[in-house]
Amino acid sequence: MQRIRLRYTKRGRLRFTSHRDFQRAFERALRRAEVPMAYSAGFTPHPKVSYANAAPTGTGSEAEYLEIALTEPRDPERLRALLDESMPAGLDIVEAVEARTSGLADRLTASVWELRLDGVGPEDAHRAVDAFTAAPAVEVQRRTKNGVRTFDARSAVVGLESAETHSSPADRPTDRPCAILRLVVRHVTPAVRPDDVLSGLRAVADLAPPVPAAVTRLAQGLLDEETGTVTDPLAPDREAAATEPHPAGATAAATAPA
């Protein structure tokens, strides 16, 4: 059994698709591309697809990950291209590697987010960021299926910076100022999401953008505690592939589907 790890995106209006919507679209793509999927056992077999830490509905992402199991070897880049052709534009399969290491989910310990705040000036954004980062704790509330839950949104935040931009997204033209926040947050329980940080900024600095923030995940991976950066979770698989050649006969079988 071969395992392939994929990175995919949620761009433009497709950021409003739910994780279940993506699952349906991806399973259709697997069938269209005639991918030799491995299936689970039992009365209702389903394709062996493992999804890792999907972004919330309504947020864009450049760094979503999943893993599939195949019954026959395939070239990862050829497989990526076939799947990408079968997916809607905006849900793009942008990278594929053969799984040569274990524990992909264990390497997703932090995310880098970009928050575009239309109508917010740079001074207000800087002031709110300074107030948030200076606070020892920032309690926010979130409604869950078990009721309203209160938790600290500050402790999971590794970094929060503000930068001014003079451009606006192509689908949201405006003459108003637009501030950009760059957020690095640990994956903890309960998860601290970008909207929780925005709630915290409202609580400590009364920062309330006139329109909803445009949120995009730029990266997710293993957090480097010394530098505060997030590393590429597929790098160990690429490095292992460079030092471990395919077994004899695998290259010929991996060129294309039968």
pLDDT tens readout for residues 157-184: 999 999 855 444 444 455 778 999 999 9
| Measured distance CA(105)–CA(86) in Å, rounded | 26
Instruction: For the domain made up of 2-105+233-253, give the CATH fold.
Output: Alpha-Beta Plaits (3.30.70)
Confidence band, pLDDT 50/70/90 cuts, at residue 252: very low
pLDDT over threshold 60, residue 247: no
pLDDT tens readout for residues 107-150: 999 999 999 999 999 999 999 999 999 999 999 998 888 888 89
pLDDT at 94: 98
Mean pLDDT of the chain: 90
**Which residues of the chain form CATH 3.30.70.580?**
2-105+233-253
Instruction: For the domain made up of 109-230, give the CATH fold.
Output: Alpha-Beta Plaits (3.30.70)
pLDDT over threshold 50, residue 250: no
pLDDT tens readout for residues 172-219: 455 778 999 999 999 998 899 999 999 999 999 999 999 999 999 999
Three state DSSP letters for the chain: CEEEEEEEEECHHHHHCCHHHHHHHHHHHHHHCCCCECECCCCCCCECEEEECCCCCCCEEEEEEEEEEECCCCCHHHHHHHHHHCCCCCCCEEEEEECCCCCCHHHCCEEEEEEEEECCCHHHHHHHHHHHHHCCCCEEEEEECCEEEEEECCCCEEEEEEEEECCCCCCCCCCCCEEEEEEEEECCCCCCCHHHHHHHHHHHHCCCCCCCCEEEEEEEEEEECCCCEEECCCHHHHHHHHHCCCCCCHHHHCCCCC
pTM of the model: 0.87
Average pLDDT estimate for 12-25: 95
225: which residues sit within 8 A by CB, 6+ positions away? none
